Structure 1
Amino acid sequence: MTKAPAPPPASAPIIVAIDGGAASGKSSTARALAARFGLLHVDTGSFYRQVCAKLMAQRIAPDQTEPIEAGLAAVTFSTQVVGNTAQLLIDGHAAGDDIRSEQVNTHVSHYAALPAVRAALLAYQRSQPEVARKHGFRGVVMEGRDIGSVIFPNADFRIFLHADQAARAARRAAEGRVDAVAERDRLDTSRKAAPLLCPPGAVDIDSTHLTLEEVVEKLSALIAQKLPPLSSC
């Protein structure tokens, strides 16, 4: 049977905010929810990775405040929608595979901790629900580390995913990726600008012993109270 068309987007796009540390399951969960509910998937971690890669390519270190501020003031951020995912374009250029490299993994938290970097991306991130509406999506599922606390503190759904460090390190190893999970946790939770935390009132889920499917089902039941899933027929 032909898949039923999606209903027209609501006037106010639904916002699902998912926060959590590295390898907590944010991306896989967000992608599954985006497909199930007709939402635009927005991976804000990739935005910070892209900015990190650009600054590193320009040989600008995290402690070089003035060059960072000048460099970010000179760039233009825009969005390219590929499938149901929002991709950041910096001066019209999309991210390359280098943003998932070991080098970027090592340094991204240092750049992401800088107030200048977070301020540069703030308005851009907040523009994504309107991007979703214009492209016919019902809203956004946005993942990151400060979505429910800073970017969209009044999101329709605020979710915090976490898992113990051993489980998260094992997940990265299974993906064939090198990622200093413990060190990134330390940097992300201790930074002064928008630290990683579970926002008050958010749905807190420990995914250590849950499968991806179990996490998705828990959150789908929650979201379906306000937004019915798309027909699977």
Structure 2
Amino acid sequence: MHKTKTVTILTLDGAAATGKSTTAHALADALNYLHIDTGSHFRILSYHLNQVSIPSQASTNLSEALKELSLNTKIYGHSAVLEVNRQRLTSTELRSLTVNTLVSQYAALKPIRDFLLNYQRSLEHFAREAHFEGMVVEGRDIGSVVFPRAKHKVFLYADESTRIARRQKEGLKDFISERDAIDRTRTLAPLTCPKDALSINTTQLSLDEVVDLILKKITD
């Protein structure tokens, strides 16, 4: 009997502007793994739901609206990119002030989390079919909820002033404190450090230093 090939999963959790995305991209390149940004999934849905005037609070119309969305995955380099209704959003659209304001509110809704959880877990099969030996999955609940049995788990954090400065340097307005409060206190899949994760304070560390720490840990 042919044995299904195992995909090694590295989860990377943390709050906004802790360095998740740059670190995840660098790790995927170094390991030749598939990169998956689950935060972008919530941003994409927030954008589309806002476009059709579905409120970011619990709504009887939400489940019906989700049924109208078709999900498709494309690979660009090492990254798996979610397209909704065959549309790929730009970085500007994903990180607009409107999406930054709404994303944590939409992400707290159970129908949205359930909808995306099924999709995100299916990406393990997608990575296998695309002949990747592993994947780096970044988000806020990846090691605790999406892939709790992942082989490697990392949690990044940094002080709030540093994170705000990073967003400002990128030319973006983000609501760090407000999003932190929503993400950490929501009932469903709150932002938390998995108990078995490598926890790294990125406040004073360069990207290379963070990546080296993680690579050393997972290759020991």
Task: Give the shorter-chain TM-score range.
Answer: over 0.9
Across the aligned residues of Structure 1 and Structure 2, the Cα RMSD in angstroms comes to 1.2
Q: 2:155 aligns with which of 156, 160, 178?
A: 160
| Partners of 1:88 and 1:95 within 8 A in 2 | no
Q: What is the CA distance between 1:64 and its match in structure 2? A: 4.5
Q: 2:57 aligns with which of 50, 57, 63?
A: 63
Structure 2 partner of 1:119: 114
| Partners of 2:58 and 2:109 within 8 A in 1 | no
Q: Which amino acid aligns with 2:93?
A: D
Q: What is the CA distance between 1:123 and its match in structure 2? A: 1.0
CA distance in 1, matches of 2:161, 2:150: 31
Q: Which amino acid aligns with 1:221?
A: K
**Does the alignment pair 1:35 with 2:22?**
no
Q: What is the CA distance between 1:91 and its match in structure 2? A: 2.1
TM-score relative to the length of structure 1: 0.90
Q: What is the CA distance between 1:28 and its match in structure 2? A: 0.5
Structure 2 partner of 1:17: 11
Within 5 Å, give how 1:143-222 maps onto structure 2. Answer: 143-222=138-217
**How many residue pairs are counted as aligned between the two chains?**
216
- Identical counterparts, % of pairs: 42
User: What SS is found at the alignment partner of 2:196?
Assistant: coil
- Deviations, residues 53-104 of structure 1 (Å, cap 9, x unaligned): 0010011111242111111123221211111101112122222331111111
Structure 2 partner of 1:88: 82
Q: 1:49 aligns with which of 38, 43, 46?
A: 43
**Gapped regions of structure 1 (runs ≥ 5):** 1-9, 226-233
Alpha-carbon distance change, 222 to 129 in structure 1, aligned in 2, over 3 angstroms: same
Moved over 4 A (4+): none
Q: 1:137 aligns with which of 132, 135, 138?
A: 132
Q: 1:110 aligns with which of 91, 105, 113?
A: 105
| Partners of 1:128 and 1:140 within 8 A in 2 | no
CA distance in 2, matches of 1:70, 1:181: 31
**Gapped regions of structure 2 (runs ≥ 5):** none
CA distance in 1, matches of 2:27, 2:57: 38
User: What SS is found at the alignment partner of 2:57?
Assistant: coil
- Deviations, residues 175-221 of structure 1 (Å, cap 9, x unaligned): 11111111110010011110000011111111111111110000011
